[in-house]
Structure 1
Amino acid sequence: MEISVTFIAFSVAFTIVLGCLWKALDWVWLKPKKLEKLLRQQGFSGNSYKFLHGDTTEMFMMRKQAKTRTINPFSHDIASRVIPFHHHISKKYGKNSFIWMGPMPIINITDPKLIREILLRHEIFQKPKLNSLGRSVFSGMGIYEGERWFKVRKTANPAFHLDKLKGMLPKMYLSCNDMIRKWKISISNEESHELDLWPDIKALTSDVISRTTFSSSYEDGRKIFELITEQINIITQVFYFFHIPGWSFVPTKANRKLKSNEKEIREVIKGIVKKREEVLKVGEASNEDLLGLLVESNLKEIQEHGHKESGMSIEEVIDECKLFYLAGQETTATLIIWTMILLCMHPNWQERAREELFQVFGNKEPQFDELNSLKELHKIVYEVLRLYPPPLLGRATIKESKLGEIIIPPGVFISLPIILVHQDEKYWGADAKEFNPDRFSQGVSKASKNDQVSFFPFSWGPRTCIGQNFALLEAKLALAMILQNFSFQLSPTYVHTPVLGITIQPQNGAHIILQKI
């Protein structure tokens, strides 16, 4: 009897171990090889799958090497430095190519028509699911799917209506004015002065987000920004380990710091949100900033439907506040700094923008309606977004899906290398890699060849960035005030080194010579 029980226990244990080994073998070898065969049958090409790590080793090395190179003479053909491996694979295998993030194949889609289809069919082509480390940085409606995304998007929409943004312009002006004053003091009695403007622009956009999101808790807002900035720096270091199952549970120094920062961020925001909810419940208005508008809209949703599930939970409100910081600070800062750098490289456009600006405003404080009437600045900003966009978007397939003539099996990820699309001569003409804002003279729909929209700086379709108008308003205001007060040119010490962070950043700063007007 004892032998029989021991035998059964051994058999069960052996079966479990065998099952686990089979699953591991399937994950690390059998499934990747099967998917590779299916992709090649669909006309895709790429490196053969390498056990466990795929292309990640080569990807890491190419990115490391790219950071040591400068782009000289200055050029806007930057993809080989910003996304070197994607650029290399597309050159080697053509547009229908795939890469390996560990055992996961990722197909590159660069046809604007297919990109629009993917972004429109968001219920099928979803945001890739993140592990706990990824969620410590990326959060909110930016990663939600299905009904949860719809609920949060609907609740947050009122905070981004144009009439609400108009009311935030004075807060943005205060932040911009503080930076302008600081620059004028730096120049003092000199005719001109050289500064690395990148830290100041980052400080400006974090200042704007702090004022417009947490106006009554401004210092807490600054603390959140510092922690999120640290999170971004850490996450870029550990990104290449994300495909390893269970990696987020490994107690490395980076992982522990990501988790402790996330806990602190959530505690600070939670305290601010609770105070704001209490104020609104006793009838005291507190909707002068993004958080107030979000909390107010959320309470209305709950009151209208009579149950809490119709509104956002406290955790979802916290996630949206984190997203305001990440998206609002990072993307707007890079848009402003690249616009300044490109206006230095193309001084004729700097003069065109300034001339129009003085015709509309003179030396007066820029106002909302007049800012939106600045055609030259509008074209310039859009051209900068074309040449220096968020370079990659990612999607995952939840079931076998047809895309054009392609059948995409489940388990395949989709990469949308937007920067390659934005600089493709097929869609933008022979000057695709050159700075030519006039291509946007008749709007986005007429900017690319054959009137085929090939412009995706804020994504596309139902999941177009909710903060698009906020970012454009802030960028235009900052640039208008800078152009009113200074002329600027690149310093001889400036080196053109665009590098991939969350967005495209100037790796070695932005050394610019300012001259007071």
Structure 2
Amino acid sequence: MEKTVTLVTVSVAIVVVSWWTWRTLKLVWFRPKMLESYLRRQGLSGTPYTPLVGDLRRNFCMMMEAKSKPIKPTDDISPRVVPFPFEMLKNHGMTFFTWLGTTPTITIMDPEHIKEVFNKIYDFQKPHTFPLGEKLAKGLATYDGEKWAKHRRIINPAFHLEKIKNMVPAFHQSCSEVVGKWDKLVLDKGSSCEVDVWPGLVSMTADVISRTAFGSSYKEGQRIFELQGELAQLIILTFLKSFIPGYLYLPTKDNRRIKAACREIHVILKGIMNKRLRAREAGEAPSDDLLGILLESNSGQTKGNEMSTEDVMEECKLFYFAGQETTSVLLVWTMVMLSQHQDWQARAREEVKQVFGDKEPDTEGLNQLKVMTMILYEVLRLYPPAAQLTRAIHKEIKLGDLTLPGGVQINLPILLVHRDTQLWGNDAGEFKPGRFKDGVSKATNGQVSFFPFAWGPRICIGQNFALMETKMALALILKKFSFELSPSYVHAPYTVLTLHPQFGAHLILHKL
């Protein structure tokens, strides 16, 4: 009897080990090699598969090397920001595949293919290969299918132009406070002063999001921003390790800190939400901030079609991270570009004077700033907040002449497309806002070659919010100061989820 039990136990153990061994081999070797063979038969070229890690180590090492070398302000930033895709583009042409761990990723740069990917949102979905990213925020940006459609419908009212118009006073208040601090610094030094504008712009845009998202609870919201900034840094540090099966469950110092920061964000948001829900029940809640508009829209849904409290909290986290990051990086690179191109800085300032005179900037006037709009589009072309976007394919699908298998990903390299001379001409690397004088469609010849906020049905819901806030900040800055690059400025764009200045943005501000 005892021998029988032992034999059964050993047999079960052998079956389990054999099953896990087969699954592991399938995941780590057989499936990737099968997909690689499929892609090569399509005529695609790319890197050979390296078990488990793919091109992660090579990509990471190239990024670290590039990050160690600042560049000239006039240099192409692509080799520094996306060195691996840039090298692949040179060696393999406009379409190629690389490996994100065990997953093949096909990079495409043909505008017609990009358009198809953006339009077919149910065929080309958001990837979920990097669960750490969802620690920052899930929400609308990560959902697919019916859940995405439901959330988009409920959130849309918060970003209608009429609602954004009501938030312009909050934009003005937050921007004025930072500009006032810079003004005091300059006056203390006489008429000119070196200022690292990056921390001020980060503070300004965080304050704007705090006020517009949570109204009177904005100070509590500021703590969320601090925690999300810390999370972003931790996620970058643990990026490579996160692809090791089970690593995220190990009680490492970084993993424990990530969990603690996530818990604290959850507690703060839960408190803000409960406070607001109690106020709504008492008929005392404001309805002009993002949270109020979102709750009002959500309460108008039929039963079963509304968002849960947890869903609303995730959307608030997304407002916070995406809204603050996009605007701060757009502002900093705009100031850097205008520091180098004094003619465009002068034109933008003259336009602000013509539109507003001695008045404070308002919505109507901000919408009339055509030169500033051209400048912002050109900065978004040359310095897009995100260098690339990714989509996942879950079933075999045709894309142009290619037939792609389920299980691969598509990479849309925003930065490389925006600087491609075949699409933008030989001056693609130059700062020429005039190319947008007749709008985006004319500048791109009707092609999908400009998509800093994505494109199609999933275009960023907050782009008008970000552009209006940026215009407000620039209008106030241009009225107060002229500015140029400081001798201590070091040009070093690098990616911390979005495109940051590695050593800040040291400018000389001159009081006007």
Query: 1:379-430 CA distances to partner (integer Å, 9 max, x unpaired)?
Result: 0000000000121101111111111111111111111111000000111111
CA distance in 1, matches of 2:244, 2:120: 29
Q: Name 2:244's counterpart in structure 1.
A: 244
Q: Name 2:69's counterpart in structure 1.
A: 69
CA distance in 2, matches of 1:344, 1:60: 32
CA distance in 1, matches of 2:166, 2:468: 12
Q: 2:510 aligns with which of 488, 512, 515?
A: 515
Q: CA contact under 8 A between 2:137 and 2:315: conserved in structure 1? A: no
Q: Name 2:187's counterpart in structure 1.
A: 188
1:284 positional shift: 2.6
Q: CA contact under 8 A between 1:133 and 1:258: conserved in structure 2? A: no
CA distance in 2, matches of 1:33, 1:159: 47
Q: Name 2:440's counterpart in structure 1.
A: 444
Q: Name 2:97's counterpart in structure 1.
A: 98
CA distance in 1, matches of 2:392, 2:249: 23
The number of residue pairs the alignment matches comes to 510
Q: Determine helix, strand or coil for the equivalent of 2:368.
A: coil
Q: 1:355 aligns with which of 339, 345, 350?
A: 350
1:2 positional shift: 4.0
Q: CA contact under 8 A between 1:366 and 1:477: conserved in structure 2? A: yes
1:191 positional shift: 1.7
* Deviates further, 201-210 or 130-139: 130-139
Structure 1 residues 457 and 514: alpha-carbon distance in aligned structure 2, compared to 1, 3 A threshold: same
1:285 positional shift: 4.2
Q: 2:490 aligns with which of 487, 490, 495?
A: 495
Query: 1:435-478 CA distances to partner (integer Å, 9 max, x unpaired)?
Result: 01111111111102x43231101001111111111000000110
Q: Name 1:461's counterpart in structure 2.
A: 456
Question: Structure 1 residue runs of 4+, over 4 Å off?
Answer: none
Query: 1:269-317 CA distances to partner (integer Å, 9 max, x unpaired)?
Result: 111111111222232341121111111111121xxx2x2x211101101
Q: Determine helix, strand or coil for the equivalent of 1:451.
A: coil
Q: Name 2:161's counterpart in structure 1.
A: 162
Query: 1:206-249 CA distances to partner (integer Å, 9 max, x unpaired)?
Result: 01011111111121011111101100111111112333332221
Equivalence map 1:342-381=2 (5 Å): 342-381=337-376
Q: Determine helix, strand or coil for the equivalent of 2:239.
A: helix
> Which letter does structure 1 place at the counterpart of 2:425?
G
Equivalence map 1:182-331=2 (5 Å): 182-189=181-188, 190-301=190-301, 305=302, 307=303, 309-331=304-326
Q: CA contact under 8 A between 1:133 and 1:255: conserved in structure 2? A: no
CA distance in 2, matches of 1:240, 1:95: 26
> Which letter does structure 2 place at the counterpart of 1:441?
K
Q: Name 2:422's counterpart in structure 1.
A: 426
Q: Name 1:127's counterpart in structure 2.
A: 126
CA distance in 1, matches of 2:131, 2:91: 35
Identity %: 50
1:60 positional shift: 1.2
CA distance in 2, matches of 1:239, 1:153: 29
* Deviates further, 215-224 or 195-204: 215-224
CA distance in 1, matches of 2:404, 2:282: 53
CA distance in 1, matches of 2:332, 2:490: 14
Q: Name 2:393's counterpart in structure 1.
A: 397
* Deviates further, 379-388 or 135-144: 135-144
Unaligned stretches of 5+ in structure 2? none
Q: Determine helix, strand or coil for the equivalent of 2:468.
A: helix
1:12 positional shift: 2.3
1:29 positional shift: 0.9
Is 1:336 the counterpart of 2:331? The answer is yes
Structure 1 residues 499 and 131: alpha-carbon distance in aligned structure 2, compared to 1, 3 A threshold: closer
CA distance in 1, matches of 2:244, 2:158: 39
Q: CA contact under 8 A between 2:114 and 2:448: conserved in structure 1? A: no
> Which letter does structure 2 place at the counterpart of 1:206?
A
Unaligned stretches of 5+ in structure 1? none
Q: Determine helix, strand or coil for the equivalent of 2:311.
A: helix
Q: 1:414 aligns with which of 410, 413, 416?
A: 410
TM-align CA RMSD: 1.3
TM-score by length of 1: 0.96
CA distance in 2, matches of 1:177, 1:263: 33
1:173 positional shift: 0.3
CA distance in 1, matches of 2:426, 2:296: 50
1:199 positional shift: 0.4
1:130 positional shift: 4.9
CA distance in 1, matches of 2:337, 2:248: 40
TM-score by length of 2: 0.97
CA distance in 1, matches of 2:98, 2:114: 18
